[in-house]
Amino acid sequence: MDLSFSEEDLAFRDEVREFLATALPADVKDRCDRGLHPTPEGQIRWQKILNEKGWMAPNWPVEYGGTGWTITQKHIAAHEFGHAAAPIALPFGVSMVGPVIYTFGNQEQKDKYLPRILNSEDWWCQGYSEPGSGSDLASLQTKAVRDGDDYIVNGQKIWTSFAQHADMIFCLVRTDSSAKQQEGISFLLIDMKTPGITVKPIIGLDMEHSLNEVFFEDVRVPVANRIGEENKGWTYAKFLLGNERTGIARVARSKRQVERLKDIAKAERCGGHTLSFCNDFNNKLTRIEVDLMALEYTELRYLSMIASGKQLSAEPSLLKIKGTEIQQRLTGLLVESLGMYGAPYEAERAYEGRNEAPVGPDYAHGPMAEHLYLRAATIYGGSNEIQRNIVSKMVLGL
């Protein structure tokens, strides 16, 4: 057991810092720090910079374009990215479908899709959930019927994040209705431009458009776009969900939120002082900070176990549960820190062409949007109730 950083680690940290200080565009940083959704243009601009540096996919094996960082280096990079409010690459390509493709895909699929993910040519979205199949994902109904070298896909996906910008969607589809639910699912990669696909917006609580319904009507998908074997899609889907859960903890981002809260508390006036003198506020913030520290070391401990070849069962669910609860407590406290300036709110598109900054102090622009959106953090990626079910069953044997 050892927590210290080596000389090389410290040099690496300086390199990351230096890179972020010079390469991160100010507009991208500003949105990320405020907790606003990235603009598609800004996100892609930043991802291209990351890719040029070779840092687009730190978790990928080196042969596919990964960085080959040690877990210590990954931890350092994540911390520095969080601290600098540097967005990480969109998860749908790099963190979700990418690993599925290099783990279960064929050579042709690897050659075709992995480079396009790395240089942001394809924007991916995730077609898992359906109106009747959320927590009970395996009950999904979207059908794919074989027709020569194609599948014909019919059905509907819902809650598809950022599908309106997407070039590609990875989909779970039912290819065998007679088998046990989990045994009749296949994993397809579908070009969003294929005839028969319709994307309909869903406006969220935050009054922004990130969610969509995606409809499939006789959509022809080449069989060559299937990952792995027919009817084995559930295995790949679960592999992906395992990765998704770890990513969702977002410890580094939460550490940045703690810093922001401390900055706001020094500026926000309260009771003739600043909020930083308010005991109730400080207590709440400190409790979150300590919980977050515990989470950070839990994550590191698990990563170390994995690095040493140990097999984890459902422990990553803990990271998802605690990580998202902390995110929600933080955005709740951010909103609280604003006093009544938490209440003014308009969708971002309302400001277009208006040349008028949002009302209140500058730091008041962002927290409510993020607070509203992150109510979903305990719902998406497998709800926290489902995660607790998993831990109780898999880890505790209940």
Q: Given the rule CB under 8 A, which of 32-40, 44-52, 132-140, 239-247 is the region that contacts another protein?
A: 132-140
From residue 169, give the alpha-carbon distance in Å to each of 92, 178, 222: 9, 26, 14
**Largest Cα–Cα separation, the chain:** 76
Token pair belonging to 152: 């014909």
Cα 358 to Cα 352: distance, rounded to the nearest angstrom? 11
- The dihedral built from the CA positions of residue 126, 129, 135 and 137, taken in this order, carries a sign that is negative
The C-alpha atoms of residue 109 and residue 228 are separated, in whole angstroms, by: 10
State in angstroms the smallest separation of the CB of 30 from another protein: 21
Minimum distance, C-beta of residue 350 to another protein, in the bound complex (Å):
8
Sign of CA pseudo-dihedral 215, 219, 223, 229: positive
281 to 300, contacts with another protein by CB under 8 A? Answer: 281
Residue 105 interaction partner, one of ligand FAD, another protein, none, beta carbon < 5-8 Å per kind: none
Tokens 């800004």 sit on residue: 42
Q: Which residue is nearest to ligand FAD (CB)?
A: 134
Shortest gap between Cβ of 106 and another protein (angstroms)? Answer: 33
Is the distance from CB of 125 to CB of 169 less than 8 angstroms? yes
Burial class (CB in 10 A: 0-12, 13-18, 19+), 349: exposed
| Residue 72 interacting with ligand FAD (CB under 6 A) | no
140 binds ligand FAD (CB under 6 A): no
Q: Does 164 bind ligand FAD (CB under 6 A)?
A: no
Span 112-131, contacts to ligand FAD by CB under 6 A: 125-129
Contact string 257-296 vs ligand FAD (x = CB under 6 A):
----------------------------------------
Counting contacts by CB under 6 A, is residue 161 touching ligand FAD?
yes
Chain positions 210 to 239 lying near ligand FAD, rule: CB under 6 A, are 211
Whether the CA torsion 108, 111, 116, 117 is positive or negative: it is positive
Shortest Å, Cβ 387 to another protein:
11
Q: Give the binding site for another protein (CB under 8 A).
A: 129, 132-136, 139, 158-159, 202-205, 207, 211, 268-272, 280-281, 328, 332, 335-336, 339-346, 350, 359-361, 368, 372, 375-376, 378-380, 383-385, 388
